Amino acid sequence: MGSKNLESGVNANGTSAALNLDIWYLILDQIDSRKDLCNICLTSRAWYTMAIPHLYKTVTLAMVGSWLDWDMKSDRMEVARSLSSRLLDSKNEHLRQVVHELDFGWFGDEDDDDVIHDMEKRLVALVDCLPNLQRVKIRFPLTDETLRQLTEHGKPISLYLFCEDGKRHVENELRNVVAIRALVDPFDESEGPNRHVLGIQKLMFACPNLKSFSFETSGGYGGCVITLPRFEKIYSFQFSGDETFPPLEELSLSGYRPREDEWEHWQNKFPWSKMRSLTLGPRYAADFLDLAVGYTTSLRNLTVEIYTDEDRKSHCPQLTKFLRAFDSLESLTVKGYNLPLEPIGYHPSLKHLCLHSFEPARGDIRRPALGIEQLRELDKSCTHLETLELDLYRDGEWPEHILKALATGFKNLRRLTLHLELGLRQLEGQRTSSQEESMRIKPILTEGSAREVGQRFFTWSSLSKVSVLVLKTGEPLRRYPQWEPSYWEVYLRLQSHLDPIPVIDAVT
């Protein structure tokens, strides 16, 4: 392979340019877009030969489109069926050889049992016939029988179960399951007594090689209609004391709050030395930090988030205490909470840092933003930062002293993201267009103003390594994203008078 060349075109001088195939292989391996890889395959026969192994490295078997945008006379499963049939055809052994991963599901609201049964049969058959298959990611609630066939298969594949709800019957060990993602509503009594939390507990402990576990609880949002429970509610795990945690390296909890009688089992039986990544939220789960403080010794990545409306919490003393107890973090993301700089200084090896708090919609409290001295302190204590995400306050003009400090400091910084406030406090209660116009936060973020700020920033940062500046506004981390916030109508009226903001997030 290394002795062959691929003609890459004609350069500006009219001479033919060629690169070693090994170099083209490395270049193609960096392309994540399947659409781009598909277009490359259509370029020529030579490019097809080069790119097809990269296109088929991961094969997705899922519904394409939805009934809202799909011709109802067409079969939404047509692509998944045709792709699986192509791989099941022994004539396409060259394609079979390059498949390393199957991504199975999502099938939307498909309620045709025959369709689901057919796709599961195809999945098992593909596992049989793909010689170099390494991973199967499941994004659909597989039947127990299909999961049994996959877990008892002789081929050493890794299974990722990304659609668990606690209803699965688990009788035997699932030795090839390496990742679980579960969402449970412990308040749902539509099927009688709800023991789904315990179902997830049983599933986790049935996977002795589990490396990643993500567990979110939902429901219980309250409302104007009070419904009394008919059965005993189970919101957390129930340990007997004999359970052995799998060797988890990644743990994510959202809405799960361990009871105090669980703490001892977590503290004494959890493999803290193996855990590299911990994510808490966006439903409140910060109480887990009280349990874990002093036990984490090798944690590399920590994310703590909270929804904008979750009990209106802004301070998290558990997080401050937790960060002071060790010094190994390389990535820290905090969204929704106001975190002081002092505990961040305990982690000098940080390469990624995100500190983003929510903008108050009412009251006299302003969203905190770092000042010059705080930026200098952060630069001094975390010299290895490569990506930084912070809040920026506009008070009638762009804060050039802050932007200049960011542009000229942080010698290893590659990417900077700044969150700009919408001015919700100013908009609250305004009704007339003239009042709203007078209260609009300045300067207004438009395509022109963003480019102007970007040009100034990169002039100041000419000697630094920063190559990307991202300007963001708005807040996606809302517990009820389907409900419009109270300021939505005002925002729409303001938008009608603004130049559109470009669908790009970088100014270079």
Two tokens, residue 220: 């219980």
Query: What are the b/e assignments for 443-460, b being 16+ CB within 10 Å?
Result: eebeeebbeebbeebbeb
pLDDT category of residue 426 using cuts at 50, 70 and 90: low
Decide: residue 324, CB within 10 A, 0-12 exposed, 13-18 middle, 19+ buried.
middle
> What does the pLDDT average to over 160-167?
96
The 3-state secondary structure of 361-405, one letter per residue? CCCCCCCCCCCHHHHHHHHHHCCCCCEEEEEECCCCCCCHHHHHH
Instruction: Examine the pLDDT at 504 and tell me if it is beyond 50.
Output: no
Bridge partners (DSSP) of residue 353 are 332, 388
Cα separation, 116 vs 202, in Å, equals 26
Q: Is the pLDDT of residue 13 over 80?
A: no
- Give pLDDT, residue 24: 80
Is pLDDT above 70 for 430? Answer: no
Confidence band for 48, pLDDT divided at 50, 70 and 90:
confident
Helix (H) or strand (E) holding 158: strand 158-164
Tell me, what's the pLDDT at 381?
96
The better pLDDT of the pair 153, 254 is held by 254
> Quick check: 52 pLDDT over 60?
yes
What is the average pLDDT across 365-389?
Answer: 94
Distance CA 348, CA 305 (A): 22
Taking residues 97-111, what's their average pLDDT?
A: 81
pTM of the model: 0.86
Average pLDDT, the chain: 84
CA–CA separation, 10 and 12 (whole Å): 7
- The per-residue pLDDT for range 333-373, each reduced to its tens digit, is 999 999 999 999 999 999 999 999 988 766 667 788 999 99
pLDDT at position 505, please? 39
- Those residues with Cβ within 8 angstroms of residue 189's Cβ, 6 or more apart along the chain or in another chain: 229, 230, 231
Band (292; pLDDT cuts 50, 70, 90):
very high
